Structure 1
Amino acid sequence: MLTPKGRCFYTSCFSSALFFANPAIFFVFGLIVPAFEKYFQFFYFAFQTRVVYNLLFFMRKTVTNTLSAHTIHGVKTACAAVLAYAITTWLDLELGYWAVISTVIVMQVYVADSIEMCLTRFTGTAAGAVMGVIIILMAPEHPVFIGMSLFIAIGICSALTQYKPRYRMAAITVVIVVMTGITSENVVAFGLSRVYEIFIGILCAFLVSVLVLPRRGVDELTRRLYNQSTTVADTCHLLVDAFVSRQQNVDETLVDDLLKSVWENHALFQKISEHEARIYRSKFNTDFSCMVTLITRCTEHLRNMVRALNALDDEGYEIILANELKALARQSGDTLMRLMHREPATGVDDLERMIVLLDHRLNGIRQKGLIRRFDSKKLVQIFSFYSSLEYLAEDILWTSRKIQQGS
């Protein structure tokens, strides 16, 4: 509850702000405050909460944009480790350092990777603890038999890592439970304690990763798609300029880095679909699959355009449709960037008209016999490049239409 002095102070501040915002509202506010004074406390609390939220949001954005991803990751890992240490100390756990170790192992730069490591670590730990307890209970207390049991258990877990990475954690937990718990009076309780301690560390890592300056894979994928779309647009302009300038050769590795980058999108998208989609539903949608596929197909078309340009090493020809090809490349790039940046696809209709117009102009040129000047190899080069550019534009058009219909 606000004291009369505090209520007067906040009322004055708020009314002053209203006066500078709108004098008319100020006078109305001055009339209604005495009558609705008890409701003012509620509105002030809501206003104050909103201000604090906006301030924290601004601070988070500033820190995220200023510090590097690995710097933030280091700070978050340290926070998770200290949190795990505090909890295990408060609970007075015997081997609480396993919780701290688990946080360091589990924490990753991106939320999707952290969640994946949490699941891998916990399921592997549970399986390894069960196997370790079984070995201690069933194997005779002799170094030879214990060694044979460890050999079998670790060998099985290591062989199973080809199917699931979690079995690597199972092998580690087997060693921990057997080597440190063989002299324990209550083996089952010892194994459960290790699972409990490691679970605390995993939980701390998960909470810090999700709640403290989260670096989401979905945000990284969005950034990558937009940057790649810009590169695709620029490369397409470059290739079309080389094509209309008497089919100049270009660097054969022009799109190799881009192609490698876009294929990494698929692995990132898979992790996001499996681990982040349920947590960040508002940020994740089915359009990502279409956009990841589109940027890959566009890069493949660019690679075909590079191959077509470098297929022949001759003087080349002037291209009659030079202006139309440049316009199509420019419109395709602009539409692609708008699509990847989630902006309204205002140029979709223009792109469709350009594709139809270019086909119509090309058919007219063929009917006039203007392509007879090309030999067979040159004809293949010309139509290969043209087809790749048209396929690129049509893929962008089709995906844009699909996303528009879905929304």
Structure 2
Amino acid sequence: MTSLSDTAGRLGRFARRFGLRHALRTAVAVVATQLLVTFLNLPQGYWAVVTAVIVMQANLGGSIRAAWTRLAGTAVGAAFGAAASHFGGQTVAAAGLSVFATLAVCAAIPKLRESSRVAGITAVIVILAGHPDMPALELGFDRFLEIAVGIVTALVTSVVVFPSRASRALSHGLAKLFEDVASLFAVVVEGRIREDYPERHVFALKDRILRTLARCRELRLEADAESRDRGESALRAMLLFRGERLFEHVLGMDHVAAEWRGKGLHRHLPEEMADLEHAGADVLTKLAAHLRGNAPLPDVDALDAAVAKAREKLADMRRDRAPAAYDLSEVMHFFSFMHGMLACAADARETVARIRAME
């Protein structure tokens, strides 16, 4: 049984890595759409097949968003194309006017802006690909019907054949975000304590986090398209916001560390900085495991203790007037860096508290 489960797991990872599930879903959607348009005897059924390929995305939420964009754009473009063809005939002037009107309407209505390209293409097709003996309204309706058939087939396939949810992908993406932010936080702090700034490692982590953030923003929109549950949507929005804030705090620390060289005030509290770094990174790493469904919410007691210890040491340094022995630039760099560390700890703690309250 163990060997079978291991084999299944390896096959699943192989399929995800090379996009085999998405390829299979798309192939099924193409075949189903072609069979359906043949049964319905649609005059230009290949548009339905093309639409099925375009609408089929890696997850259901992405397919829903693509379906809405293509359906709305087709409806607007078909309407303006049919009207322009009816009144102006199949002329270049009519095509230009219909595209202008179509794009203007799409630009004026925020929810239609993503549909503008599809709408413009549809308007041109309705006018220039029509036949003199076919009414423009009929051609526009046929185009809309063909697109609708492709969209419906793609959505049904997304639900039935190896369904993939954007919400699950987003949970893993957010987990990766918090995990990488924890790594960046630890690398920047340890580099400062050792007075050895790891430029290449930091650059690689920042680049990876930026790409993860961009993907998470897309997945959040797709997850919201899948489900209208306000509680789940609010939780996703909060986690993405907190991940972005944590990254901003660490970026501020990194900017200071990149310019901060030599001996400084940090030598007065290396133990406190190390404790705060370990506790903060540990909470974020365990939070990532929780988002993957592998662990409970992390305990923040160690983080609270590390924060209290660091604040107490900072108060002692001020009382002993330790900063007075350093120039203003060093003092500003030090307190800016410590502020970033404490801000990361506060946001990590707040994130755990918010999740506990919302779940």
Q: TM-score, normalised by structure 1?
A: 0.76
Task: Encode CA deviations 1:280-317: one digit per residue, 9 max, x unaligned.
Answer: x5994532222111111111111111222222333446
Amino acid at match of 2:137: V
Alignment partner, residue 28 of structure 2: 79
Instruction: Tell me the distance in 2 between the aligned counterparts of 1:259 and 1:212.
Output: 32
Instruction: Tell me whether 1:157 sits opposite 2:102 in the alignment.
Output: yes
Check 1:102–1:85 CA distance in 2 against 1; reply closer, same or farther (3 A cut).
Answer: same
SS in 1 for 2:37: helix
1:375 positional shift: 2.5
1:403 positional shift: 2.0
Alignment partner, residue 246 of structure 2: 298
Task: Encode CA deviations 1:125-176: one digit per residue, 9 max, x unaligned.
Answer: 122222222223222x5x6xx2211111123334555551212222222222
Check 1:189–1:329 CA distance in 2 against 1; reply closer, same or farther (3 A cut).
Answer: same
Instruction: Tell me the distance in 2 between the aligned counterparts of 1:239 and 1:226.
Output: 20
SS in 2 for 1:165: helix
Alignment partner, residue 186 of structure 2: 237
Which structure is richer in relative contact order (CA contacts within 8 A, separation 6 or more)?
2
Alignment partner, residue 403 of structure 1: 355
SS in 2 for 1:194: helix
Task: Encode CA deviations 1:30-76: one digit per residue, 9 max, x unaligned.
Answer: xxxxxxxxxxxxxxxxxxxxxxxxxxx99997654221353322222
SS in 2 for 1:181: coil
Check 1:76–1:346 CA distance in 2 against 1; reply closer, same or farther (3 A cut).
Answer: closer
Alignment partner, residue 207 of structure 2: 257
Instruction: Tell me whether 1:367 sits opposite 2:319 in the alignment.
Output: yes
Q: Percent identity?
A: 24
Contact kept in structure 1, 2:69 and 2:114, CA below 8 Å = yes
Check 1:179–1:60 CA distance in 2 against 1; reply closer, same or farther (3 A cut).
Answer: farther
1:320 positional shift: 3.1
Alignment partner, residue 116 of structure 2: 167
Check 1:191–1:213 CA distance in 2 against 1; reply closer, same or farther (3 A cut).
Answer: same
Check 1:318–1:335 CA distance in 2 against 1; reply closer, same or farther (3 A cut).
Answer: closer
Amino acid at match of 1:320: H
Between stretches 296-305 and 89-98, larger displacement belongs to 89-98
2:273 to 302, 306, 325: 325
Instruction: Tell me the distance in 1 between the aligned counterparts of 2:165 and 2:262.
Output: 50
Contact kept in structure 2, 1:308 and 1:385, CA below 8 Å = yes
1:215 positional shift: 3.2
Amino acid at match of 2:92: G
Alignment partner, residue 87 of structure 2: 138
Alignment partner, residue 13 of structure 2: 65
Alignment partner, residue 299 of structure 2: 347
Amino acid at match of 1:154: V
Between stretches 268-277 and 235-244, larger displacement belongs to 268-277
Amino acid at match of 1:272: E
Instruction: Tell me whether 1:382 sits opposite 2:327 in the alignment.
Output: no
Please list every run of 5 or more consecutive structure 1 residues that lacks an aligned counterpart in the other structure.
1-56
1:91 positional shift: 2.1
Amino acid at match of 2:296: P
1:269 positional shift: 4.7
Instruction: Tell me the distance in 1 between the aligned counterparts of 2:128 and 2:249.
Output: 57
Contact kept in structure 2, 1:158 and 1:167, CA below 8 Å = yes
SS in 2 for 1:286: helix
Contact kept in structure 2, 1:331 and 1:347, CA below 8 Å = no
Check 1:329–1:267 CA distance in 2 against 1; reply closer, same or farther (3 A cut).
Answer: same
Instruction: Tell me the distance in 2 between the aligned counterparts of 1:314 and 1:331.
Output: 26
Instruction: Tell me the distance in 2 between the aligned counterparts of 1:315 and 1:391.
Output: 24
Instruction: Tell me the distance in 2 between the aligned counterparts of 1:184 and 1:283.
Output: 54
Between stretches 264-273 and 284-293, larger displacement belongs to 264-273
Contact kept in structure 2, 1:122 and 1:198, CA below 8 Å = yes
Alignment partner, residue 46 of structure 1: none
1:276 to 222, 226, 232: 226
Q: How many residues align?
A: 344
Instruction: Tell me the distance in 2 between the aligned counterparts of 1:227 and 1:306.
Output: 20
Between stretches 296-305 and 262-271, larger displacement belongs to 262-271
1:228 positional shift: 2.2
Instruction: Tell me the distance in 2 between the aligned counterparts of 1:102 and 1:179.
Output: 20
- Based on CA coordinates, which of the two structures has the bigger radius of gyration? 1
Amino acid at match of 2:328: S
Instruction: Tell me the distance in 1 between the aligned counterparts of 2:316 and 2:264.
Output: 22
Instruction: Tell me the distance in 2 between the aligned counterparts of 1:209 and 1:59.
Output: 25
Task: Encode CA deviations 1:56-103: one digit per residue, 9 max, x unaligned.
Answer: x99997654221353322222111111000111122222222211211
Map residues 118-129 of structure 1 onto 2, 5 A cutoff. Answer: 118-129=67-78
Contact kept in structure 1, 2:265 and 2:330, CA below 8 Å = no
Check 1:157–1:218 CA distance in 2 against 1; reply closer, same or farther (3 A cut).
Answer: same
SS in 1 for 2:199: coil
Amino acid at match of 2:299: G
Between stretches 287-296 and 106-115, larger displacement belongs to 106-115
Contact kept in structure 2, 1:229 and 1:295, CA below 8 Å = yes
Map residues 51-62 of structure 1 onto 2, 5 A cutoff. Answer: none
Check 1:152–1:63 CA distance in 2 against 1; reply closer, same or farther (3 A cut).
Answer: farther
Check 1:209–1:367 CA distance in 2 against 1; reply closer, same or farther (3 A cut).
Answer: same
Instruction: Report the RMSD for the aligned CA atoms in angstroms.
Output: 2.9
Contact kept in structure 2, 1:258 and 1:299, CA below 8 Å = no
Please list every run of 5 or more consecutive structure 2 residues that lacks an aligned counterpart in the other structure.
none
Alignment partner, residue 153 of structure 2: 204
Contact kept in structure 2, 1:218 and 1:283, CA below 8 Å = no
Amino acid at match of 1:297: R
Alignment partner, residue 191 of structure 1: 140
